[in-house]
Every structure is written in C-alpha cells, then in structure tokens.
Structure 1
Amino acid sequence: MSSMLKRTTIPLAAVSALLLVACGSGSGTGQAASGGSAGAVAVGREGVQADIQDVAKFCGTKPIKVALADGFGGNSWRKTTRALFEAEAKKCSNITSVLYTDAQADPQKAIADINGLVAQGVNVIVSFADAGEALLPTVQAASAAGVKFVSIVACPGGTPGEDYVDCVSENVDTYGYGLANWTIKKMGGKGKLVMTGGQAGNPYSAAVYKGVKRAAAENPGITILNQQMGDVPVDTSWEPGKTKQVMAGLITKFGQIDGVVADYGGGSVGGIEAFLESGRRLPVWSANDSNQFACLYHENKDRQPTFQIATMSSRNWVVVPALHKGLAAYNGITNDEPSTYNLDIIEDSTDQAKQPKCEKSLPNDAILSSGLSVAQLQALFKQ
C-alpha cells in the first residue's frame, strides 16, 4: 500500500490451513469456532461494524502499557491503522504507554519486536501477523508471560482463545467471493479475470483468492489468469509502483484483461495507470476502498465505459475491537464484540445510491471508510 499489507512466504497449502483451519473456522470465516471464549473475551463471533462497543467499557483502572506490533508499516493503510489504534488507546486515561514497532516485512524482526515488547513490560499487544505461522511460538511465549496478544486481519496460526486472546478480521473468504461475484457479473459472466494480492505467500491474499476461485467456479465462462501463473494471487507487495509494473507485464502477456479483483484498492491505482498507458480499455475492477481509486474512476468513466468499480471497506477499524479485546482480557472484563466482521459492497459505480466517493481535499492514499474523520485524515497525512 504507499499502500496496504505484507507477510512472509508460506506454502499455499499451509496458508489456507492457517487462515481457514488453524484459526478454527468451520464456516470459512478465518476465525475460531463461534461461541468459544478466552476467559472474559468471546472468541469467534460474527457480526458487523455496528457491533463495536465503547472502549470505556474495557479500559479498567490499572496502569496498562499497550503496543501495536506491525509486520510492515510502510504504506498508508498501515499508517492509518496505527493512527486509529493510538487514538483509541488515548481514550483510556490509565493507558500509560502506547508503543509501536515496524518489522519491515521481516519475520525475524517481527519475532524480535514482540520479544522486545514483552521485555519492556507491555501488557497488551495488537499485531498484524504478517509472518503468519512463523510467529506462533513467539506469540505463545508472550501469552505464557501474561501478555494479552490479539492479531488483526491474519492469524498467527494456533488456536485463538488458547494460544492468544483472539484474531480479529473481516470474513476473508466471503470478501474475496463477494468482490469476485460482483466483478464477474459486470463482466457478463465471461472473460479473463486476474486477482492481485500482496507479497508472495502471505496468508491474507491466499484466503481472499480462495473466495475469488469459488465465485469463478460458478461461472464456466471465466478464465482465472492466476491459474496460469502458479495458481496464486499476483504479487504486487501492496504498492502502487510495483502494481503498475506487474500489471504492465500482465497486459503484455495476456492482452486484454476483462476483470480485476484486488485485495488493496490503494495499490490498484498503479494497475489502472498501467492500463491507461498501454492504451488498453480499462476492465471491471473491485477492491477495498481508497480515495484515489474512486477519483480515478470519476476521471476516466466517460472515456472508459467498460471501467466499472466496486469496493468493500478497507476495514482499518478492526484494530479498534482488537484493542478492546486485549484490554478486556487483561482486566478480566467481559467482551462479546465480534471476531469476524461481515462486509458489504459500499461503493458501486453501477448503483446510483453507492457512487464511489472522491474527496478532493484529501490525499490519494486516504481511506474514507477507515474510521477516521476527514479532519483526522487531513491531519494524519500532513505529518
């Protein structure tokens, strides 16, 4: 993402197991089985963003140190998520320290970062577990030391509610299925479809791709180009520059591409630029929301009638209930907020009630569904 997420390389079979089995879901949510619990914290419940509660319920009174241990911090999605985490933590007067680490997409540094936070006496760690299962022994050791560890978006393997407090995410499989289903319908049920993801082997993109394949399997007129390239998401590192390079290569290799599903809208802007520079018509495109993604739609829609877009929330806000769960676990306070959040399409260029939102007062990388206000986003991107 100047753009979104990142992870370590894990074999694809292990990736699917990591998100959809090791995290214990029989319903394809990527979370623990519904109705489980980790002490006072419910684990594995499904819900929607409106189910998130007030942090005041979970602050407690004891002095608490909290940290966001990021697997990768070098893009706008991570920067926005960090800002949300810090803003939420400031609402608890008894939180004495709010720390942040950036593993820079290095699994060994991620391990060292978590160990360092434990050594500093941090009580609650929220983490984007980019390195996936490679982090599990470290997470288990942190939990054994009394640290309340909550992952967001991708689980570090193991069992939420036992090896750590919980794993908070959107329903990854239905996210991929929902975006692909919309895209395929707008393609007329036929043509060439490609899915772009983050770093090779990351568990998040692999789980999204599983949903994309499920939608494509229902439409025999669809050719998934990824199946000619190792049957994995295309590696864009969630960065616009690399996405542009990769998409230019795909255009050269395959000619016209009719549909794109991306698991990062901010990175997709580079892919759109590649199409424009190639002179090829822009395809149907779905992703999570990003200001520039919407703005590019409005800039090109009149000249590119095949260019239709849809988005689901970029769901930076999952970091908020993750912090709540960590605080509740540390304080022994009941928390029944969902672990898995079902997302709907929030922007649809073919629906007058859901037109893509382009906010000219904000930078390209701003995410309007993030949970930060326009004023907060303006302040954040001035830093």
Structure 2
Amino acid sequence: MTRTTKFTQFARLAGTAAAVALLGSMAMAQDTIRVDQGGDITELCGSDPIRVALVDGWGGDTWRKITFAELQDEASKCPNVTAEDHTDAGGDQQTYNAAINGYATQGYEIILAFTDFGEAAMPTYRMANGNGTTMVPYFTDLPGTDGVDYAVNPYQDSIAIGNQYAEWMAKALDGEGNVLMLGGPPGASSSSSFLKGFKEGLANHPGLKLLDDDFISTNWNPADAQKAAAGLIAKYGDTIDGIASDFGVTTLATIKAFNQAGVEVPAMATIATSNELSCLYNAGLEDGTAWPYLAVDGSTGDVRFALRAALAAHNGIEWDEPLGVVPYVYADSTQNIVPKCSDIAPPDADLSSLMDEEKLFSLFNR
C-alpha cells in the first residue's frame, strides 16, 4: 500500500470524525519514492521551537548510529528544530514503550519511533499522539489510521523491494534456478512483506523455484544467520542458485558460510549493506571469486522522510511526498555498479548514507 502525506490544519484535529474522513480521502495510490529523491525540508520548518526525539527498539549498531546522524543532519536545515534526544530500548519493548510515553509526557513536539515491534506498539503510539505531540512510527507499513493511531506512518516499501529482488534474480540467473529468502525472527512483519513481494515477482518467472515457502529465520544476527546458512547447505548442497535477504549482516554471514563449506556462493540480493560486505565483494571482483550481486541501499535515509512527514503533520502544512520509500541501487553485478569500500570505516558501517562523506566519516571517529 502506498499513500501520500498531504496535511492541512484539519489533520491536526486527530481523533475527530472530520479529521479521519479528511485523512482517509487523502490516501492515494501513488508510486513510492526513491530514498535519494526526497523533498526540501525547509518548506516545512515553521517558526515555533520543535524538539524531536528518536526511539529505537534496537539501536546499538553502526546502522542505527548513522540513522540518528541522518536525522540530525536533516533537522539542522531548520533553525527552530532540534534533534538531540535518542533512546535505544536494547530489544525490550517495555523500555521502548516507556521511552515514547516519557517523551510525550515531557511535551516533545515530535517523536519518531522505528517500528521494531510492529503492531504490538500501536497502543503506545495511539496514546502518545495528540496534545501537542506528533507521533510518527516509521519503517514498517502499519495497519492503523493516520491521525488516530499515530499522526502518519512513513514506511519502507518492502513489497516493492521484494519484487525488485525477484526481477533481478531472473536477470542474473537467466530465468532458471532455485532460490530462497532470508529474514529476521520468525513472524517478523517486515520480513513477511519482503517475502510477499518476492513471491509476487517470482510468479512472473516460472523457471525460478522457491525452495522454502517461508523465509529462513536468522534473527538478523550474524551467528544465527551463519548457522541457518550451514543448515541450508547441508540440506540443498550446491543446488541453491540465489538467496534474497532483508539485511546485509545476514547476507555477509551467509556468504561466509558458503565459503567455509567450499560451496560456490550463489547470487545474492540484499539491502542495508555493510562496509565489510562491500569490501569482500570488491576483493572478489579483483581475484575472480565475486558472486552475482545486487545491493539496494540508502536505507539510513528513511528517517529523513519520517521527519519531513512529521513536520508537515505538526505544522499543518500541505505536503505531497509519498510515504512509501524504496532504496536506490548501490551495487549490481549485472550493470557493473560497484559499492564503496573503505579501509578506515567500521566493518558494519553502511557507506550508502545520504550524508556527505566528511560528515559520515567524522561520525566513525567519535
């Protein structure tokens, strides 16, 4: 589902019948927008002071640190907007909920929350939204109602990305082969969306066979991903031709498992890459061991869309920007697009960030 953020002053009357009807009429089936093609935030700043807080369910890795830096970079374009507060819930939903409630109680004008806990956090979003606070969960497309369950819900269009994976697999494998999908914890909503899109795309290519009807759980953890990949190699041997994944960390772990098993690495399609993965691929290009590879990225920039949508809602400004965001192509072996590799950035750094290189690398030195 794609929607467009288009707010007026009436949208601030969250919870009223008029607001719900208005927001419902504004939901439009429009194309998603690429993450590197967003609008100009300065049109949305307003003049009143606005404090922005970011809440992560899991926030300790470099990807999340870059995301927060991207938020601060985007907010810096508005002299009245500050984004200095960030909570990492450490994987605990109660801590996550408490952080949102705390910022709302303190009267923060905007709260952005990464949708790590999916629909389970909807009651918290609903309680936080209103009374001067604009609550914006982002990344997963939630089933709630804008202006009621939250102010607005920008999201990564995982279904569209899954479709893109399938189309690329068909190209890379000449339309024939056995493929699999790696995801996060069992039942993870974002992984399910990736898989749905992947299956939709595969339906157009009958020569591509999905070996498992569900995604293979990795818990988005490299150790678990490597174990899962070892199990797949034990089960299918060298008959796996392509693997799609919704996280570069698990893709890297899977490649390592194939290398350790002495089995040729299959075609890999992934998102949210890392410096280590890119450098490994580039080294493979040099020594002839590279695998067919697609990386779509820029995902740390999704938070910029969330901030713009939040400001539009908070300030009652009409704003046409699709809420569905898709990444740009960062690496593609079929088009000779090579990813960045750095010998000074951390191994888990995502160098596809929309920040300029000087700002990005200064983050690694903190």
TM-score, with normalisation over the residues of structure 1? Answer: 0.82
Equivalent position of 1:150 in the other structure: 136
Q: CA separation of 1:115/1:92 partners in 2, compared to 1, >3 Å: closer, same or farther?
A: same
CA–CA distance in 2 between the matches of 1:219 and 1:35? 34
Shift of residue 124, structure 1, vs aligned partner: 0.3
CA–CA distance in 1 between the matches of 2:48 and 2:35? 28
SS at match of 1:167: coil
Equivalent position of 1:176 in the other structure: 162
SS at match of 1:166: coil
Equivalent position of 1:358 in the other structure: 341
- Say whether 1:245 aligns with 2:227: yes
Q: CA separation of 1:319/1:97 partners in 2, compared to 1, >3 Å: closer, same or farther?
A: closer
Map of 1:122-271 to 2, 5 A cutoff? Answer: 122-227=108-213, 231=214, 233-256=215-238, 257-271=240-254
Deviation by residue 1:340-383 (Cα, 9 ceiling, x = unmatched): 1344534211223x233323343322223221222222222233
Q: CA separation of 1:169/1:94 partners in 2, compared to 1, >3 Å: closer, same or farther?
A: same
Cα pair 1:43 1:166 within 8 Å, conserved: no
Gaps of 5+ in 1: 1-24, 26-30
Cα pair 2:225 2:253 within 8 Å, conserved: yes
CA–CA distance in 2 between the matches of 1:95 and 1:344? 28
Q: CA separation of 1:43/1:346 partners in 2, compared to 1, >3 Å: closer, same or farther?
A: farther
Equivalent position of 1:272 in the other structure: 255
Map of 1:54-133 to 2, 5 A cutoff? Answer: 54-96=40-82, 98-133=84-119
SS at match of 1:350: coil
Gaps of 5+ in 2: 13-22
Q: CA separation of 1:55/1:302 partners in 2, compared to 1, >3 Å: closer, same or farther?
A: closer
Shift of residue 103, structure 1, vs aligned partner: 2.2
What is the number of residues matched between the two proteins?
348
Q: CA separation of 1:47/1:73 partners in 2, compared to 1, >3 Å: closer, same or farther?
A: same
Cα pair 1:284 1:306 within 8 Å, conserved: no
Map of 1:28-39 to 2, 5 A cutoff? Answer: 31-32=2-3, 34=4, 37=7, 39=11
* 2:127 counterpart letter in structure 1: A
Cα pair 1:173 1:210 within 8 Å, conserved: yes
CA–CA distance in 2 between the matches of 1:97 and 1:218? 44
TM-score, with normalisation over the residues of structure 2? Answer: 0.86
Cα pair 2:140 2:156 within 8 Å, conserved: no
CA–CA distance in 1 between the matches of 2:102 and 2:35? 32
CA–CA distance in 2 between the matches of 1:252 and 1:76? 32
Shift of residue 277, structure 1, vs aligned partner: 0.7
Equivalent position of 1:335 in the other structure: 319
Cα pair 1:180 1:212 within 8 Å, conserved: yes
Q: CA separation of 1:152/1:109 partners in 2, compared to 1, >3 Å: closer, same or farther?
A: same
- Say whether 1:373 aligns with 2:356: yes
* 1:82 counterpart letter in structure 2: F
* Runs of 4+ with >6 A deviation: none
CA–CA distance in 2 between the matches of 1:285 and 1:97? 36
Deviation by residue 1:302-331 (Cα, 9 ceiling, x = unmatched): 666671101112421111121122122222
